[in-house]
Amino acid sequence: MRKIFFLFFCLLTNNFLNAQIHEIGVFLGGSNFVGDVGKTSYISPNEPAFGILYKWNKSPRHSYRISYMQSTVSGNDKDSDEPARSLRGYSFENNIKEFSIGMEFNFFDFNLHEELKRKFTPYVYSGINYFIYNELYVLNGETKKDYQESEIAIPITLGLKSKITSSLVLGFEVGARYTFTDNIDGSQPKNKNLEPLKFGNVNSNDWYVFSGFTLTYTFGNKPCYCAD
């Protein structure tokens, strides 16, 4: 009985692996920050960003996606159109290292095995992010590092992708991250000893945005997309 179960398990695992198509690739682009320091433009890359990603295409309409991305995010009040910020003159830099897992949904069928058609589709992605950053604070107009911290963010990504060869997919996406912290810029330090140094809007958490191109290589046997 054990041998039969083991054989069934091996056959099931083999069919499961061979019935999918996978993508692995890179992200190259830029980042920008939206918070209490600097400009308030939601799409305005001012620092380079890069990363790697993997997709498991469960069907022509949706994929599971895992990625790692990193960038320096920065802001400078002198770049802001708000007079109060320009007069204040604060600035900061912070390092973001982000791990993300979630689902990508295609607006059109995106079956990479249909060789005769040039495939393209808009898509959206969301899930959950875990990112590492530095807790900052501002003292006498100078931004200083306190300690390293980690937090959760929710990605909201919109993109467009196209198959450019039989095994390469090129995409462009803009992904905003709503974070569960208000101190990427040093405006709301968590350290209780630094509470007198807090400033800015306490009712609005920080955002950061990655905008750029993805290039992925596809591999795996032709799947049979069956109805779930």
Which parts of the chain are beta strand (E)? 21-34, 47-57, 62-76, 91-106, 120-139, 142-163, 168-179, 207-219
Question: Residue 222: its pLDDT value, please?
Answer: 59
CB 115 within 8 A of CB 139: no
On whether the CB atoms of residues 38 and 74 are closer than 8 A, the answer is yes
How many H-runs (helices) and E-runs (strands) does the chain carry? 2, 8
Residue 111: what pLDDT? 81
Give the bridge partners for 98, in sequence order.
69, 131
pTM score of the predicted model: 0.85
Q: 150: closest CA among 83, 193, 98?
A: 98
pLDDT value, residue 119:
84
Which single residue is written with the structure tokens 């996606």? 65
Tens digit of each residue's pLDDT, the chain (228 residues): 454 444 444 444 444 444 458 999 999 999 999 999 999 888 999 999 999 999 999 999 999 999 999 999 999 999 998 999 999 999 999 999 999 999 999 999 988 776 656 689 999 999 999 999 999 999 999 999 999 999 999 999 999 999 998 899 999 999 999 999 999 999 999 999 999 999 999 899 999 999 999 999 999 865 554 444
pLDDT of residue 115: 63
The pLDDT score that the predictor gives to residue 7 is: 46
